[in-house]
Chain A
Amino acid sequence: MRIINRTLSRRAAILLGSIPFALLIGAYAIASHLRRIDNPADKLLPSLGSMGDAIWRMGFEADKRSGDYLLWLDTVDSLSRLAVGIFISTLLAIGLGISIGFIPHIRRGLAPFVATLSLIPPITILPILFIIFGLGETSKVMLITIGTAPVMIRCVSQAVMEIPRELIIKAETLGASTWQMITRVVLPQVMPKLITAIRLGLVPAWIFLISAEAIASTSGLGYRIFLVRRYLAMDVILPYVAWITLLAFILDRLLLMASRRAFPWNHLSGDSL
């Protein structure tokens, strides 16, 4: 049988999916072991055990100086910045994205402007934000919003324009006003695409979050990584990177699950990643 026609059981799928992860961890363990044979005090590739100790120290022992549980403090601070930034972007994507996609006057007026804004490398705005808003939470949230909103707006307005014209005409023949079409036809139809836009927006959002925290912050996952970098504390950095990746993965999966649950009509056919 051709390989493209073979399907595999759920167990086999999970097993197959875990092989690359196992290989990566195995390769790391071997490399780390070899380096520590040469130099038991090697800091570059710490053993899995010492990383475990570091996780325990960061997550379950109060910090001697501040009394905080640093891993959880950093996680909560970072996630709340991310959430506020993405939330504002989402509101902008719904409001501006639908207006641009649906109403010709607004499209002509704003689409070139948003397209231009989306081309500004957001990191270049960071110094401006620090100057205007100071080093507090506002500038970090603003960076995330500025970095993600233009692309999300364009994603949603594109989705609006891809709604078959027949459906809009049909709504008109059923007596709908422009506002009613937005609330009952356009918004529901682009909601799944909006979730996709959020999932895609989260990727750069993490970059901007970590960057802003690295440059000016007193807490957060990015702050911690760049802080302990001074002591070459790979035993903290590597678990933090893994933890950030895990958080990003969980967020992505939660959004996909929410989309499947809230918009079953959109997931009735086809496979999606």
Chain B
Amino acid sequence: MRDPKFMIRNLSKSYGEYPVLERINLDIEAGAFCTLVGASGCGKSTFLRMLLSQELPSGGNILMDGVPLPQQPTPDRGIVFQRYSVFPHLTVAENLTIGAEFAARKLTGRLFGRARKKARDDIAELLETIGLSPAANKYPSQLSGGMQQRLAIAQALTMKPGVLLLDEPFGALDPGIRNDMHELLLGLWKAHDMTIFMVTHDIHEAFKLGTRMLVFDKLRDDPVTPEAYGATITYDLPIDLSTAPLPGANGETDETDGINFSAALMATMPVP
């Protein structure tokens, strides 16, 4: 059996004296699609930012492929944010070629002439996949929200990262468009052999997309000083896509608030 992609040992994060996350121990196998859910402010985005090295752990460590994570973001981990993910001053095509330009030209970070044309040709297929070929020369602000997020995902994939991190990528999109985005993302995940971590507020999304769901919540709670303890991963659920029961799957509630959602889980799931 091969080593897990990520080994997380006793990870904690605090801001000043306030712990946000504590005692997180986790092994993540390569190729997993982990969905991160929990109440607002429970530290799931902080966890994601630590996987990106945008923030550094206060304690414990994260090993990726057996070695500690670099201290800063690197191209082996792609990221898609909810907003501000693509460069507004570059066209769609330029947003997708800029990674190759960085790699090819250390000094200028810019390709010209035939090299530029070749970089354009290289991304043609990707453009086609995300359905933005007709918009190749438009600026992001001329695109709809869904198109911008498709572009952001594609841009993250141009570096062929082994890990893709998504921070509520579809949070601002309409439900219908969200469905299309799910199909796109699942297709790309299968095609690119990536490990994905996705923070979401949408419980259906978490069940539908993930192979594994990590639920963040506070185990210890001090009623007098609620900020005394940090959250941790309270449930680590493997999701069998063929049989998984979907709480509220009949579409009565589209989005479950994170706080009620833990209770809902407890009602339907055996405590591991």
Taking a contact as CB atoms closer than 8 A, the residue among B101, B108, B161 that contacts A173 in the complex is: B161
- Expressed in whole angstroms, the Cα–Cα distance for A167 and B54 within the complex equals 12
- Which of B73, B139, B159 is the one whose CB lies under 8 Å from A169? B73
A168 CB to nearest B CB, Å: 9
Q: Which of A43-51, A101-109, A182-190, A242-250 lies at the interface with chain B?
A: A182-190
Q: Report if B107 contacts A (CB, 8 A).
A: yes
User: Taking the complex as formed, is A166 at the interface, i.e. its CB lies under 8 A from any CB of chain B?
Assistant: yes
The contact of A183 among B83, B108, B159, B161, by CB within 8 Å, is B108
Is A269 positioned at the interface, with any CB of B under 8 Å from its CB?
yes
Query: What 0/1 pattern do residues 138 to 154 of B give for CB contact below 8 A with A?
Result: 01111000000000000
Interface check B15, CB cutoff 8 A: no
Among B54, B139, B140, the residue within 8 A (CB) of A264 is: B139
Q: Which of A180, A189, A264, A266 contacts B102 (CB 8 A)?
A: A180
Q: Which residues of B pack against A, CB within 8 Å?
A: 52, 54, 72-75, 77-79, 81, 83-90, 98-99, 101-103, 106-110, 139-142, 155-156, 158-159, 161
Residues of A within 8 A of B141 (CB): 265, 268-269
* Chain B hits for A266, CB < 8 A: 88-89
B159: chain A residues at CB < 8 Å are 173-175
CA distance A177 to B99 in the complex (A): 11
Decide if A113 is an interface residue (CB 8 Å cutoff).
Answer: no
Point out the residues of chain A lying under 8 angstroms from B103, CB to CB: 175
- CB-based contact A172/B85 at 8 Å: no
A180 and B88 CA atoms in complex are apart in Å by 17
Residue A10 is within 8 A (CB to CB) of chain B in the complex: no
Would you call A174 and B89 a contact (CB within 8 A)?
A: no
A-B contact pairs, 7 of them (CB 8 A): A166-B83, A171-B87, A171-B102, A175-B102, A184-B98, A184-B101, A184-B110
Q: Is the CB of B75 within 8 A of A173?
A: yes
Residues of chain B with a CB closer than 8 A to A183's CB:
108-110
Q: Tell me whether A172 and B72 are in contact (CB under 8 A).
A: yes
Contact assessment for B139 and A179 in the assembled complex, using a CB-CB cutoff below 8 Å: no
Contacts of A175 in B (CB 8 A): 74-75, 99, 102-103, 159
User: Most B CB atoms within 10 A — which of A180, A183, A189?
Assistant: A180
**Alpha-carbon distance A179/B106, docked complex (angstroms):** 9
Write the A32-70 contact mask toward B (1 if CB under 8 angstroms, else 0): 000000000000000000000000000000000000000
- Secondary structure dominating the interface of B: loop
Chain A stretch 177-202: residues in CB contact (< 8 A) with chain B: 177, 179-180, 183-185, 188-189
Closest 8 CB pairs of A and B: A180-B109, A164-B84, A172-B73, A166-B84, A174-B99, A175-B75, A265-B139, A166-B81
The interface residues of chain A lying within 8 Å CB-to-CB of B52 are 169, 173
- Pair A176/B102 contact, Cβ less than 8 Å: yes
Q: How far is the CA of A176 from the CA of B87 in the complex (A)?
A: 13
Query: What is the CA–CA distance of A266 and B142 in the complex, to the nearest angstrom?
Result: 11
Compute how far the CA of A174 lies from the CA of B85 in the bound complex, rounded to whole angstroms. 12
B109 touches A184 (CB 8 A): yes
A residues 223-273 in Cβ contact with B at 8 Å: 263-266, 268-269
Judge whether A11 is part of the interface by a CB distance below 8 angstroms: no
Q: From A163, which residue of chain B is reached at the shortest CB distance? A: B84
**Minimal Cβ-Cβ distance residue in B for A177:** B106
Instruction: Check B102 against A174 for contact (C-beta < 8 Å).
Output: yes
Query: Which residue from chain B places its CB closest to the CB of A182 in the assembled complex?
Result: B109
Which residues of the partner chain A approach B142 to less than 8 Å between Cβ atoms? 268
A sample of 4 more A-B contacts (CB under 8 A), given A170-B87, A171-B102, A183-B108, is: A166-B84, A173-B78, A174-B98, A174-B159
Complexed CA–CA distance, A102 and B101 (Å)? 21
Q: Are A174 and B75 in contact (CB under 8 A)?
A: yes
Residues of chain B contacted by A170 (CB below 8 angstroms):
79, 81, 85-87, 155-156
CB-CB under 8 A from A263, the residues of chain B are: 89
Report if A189-B89 is in contact (Cβ < 8 Å); known contacts: A173-B156, A180-B102, A184-B109: yes
Alpha-carbon gap, A263 to B103, bound state (A): 25
Q: How far is the CA of A174 from the CA of B155 in the complex (A)?
A: 8
Find out whether the CB atom of A188 lies under 8 angstroms from the CB atom of B102: no
Task: Give Cα A238–Cα B86 distance, bound, in whole angstroms.
Answer: 52
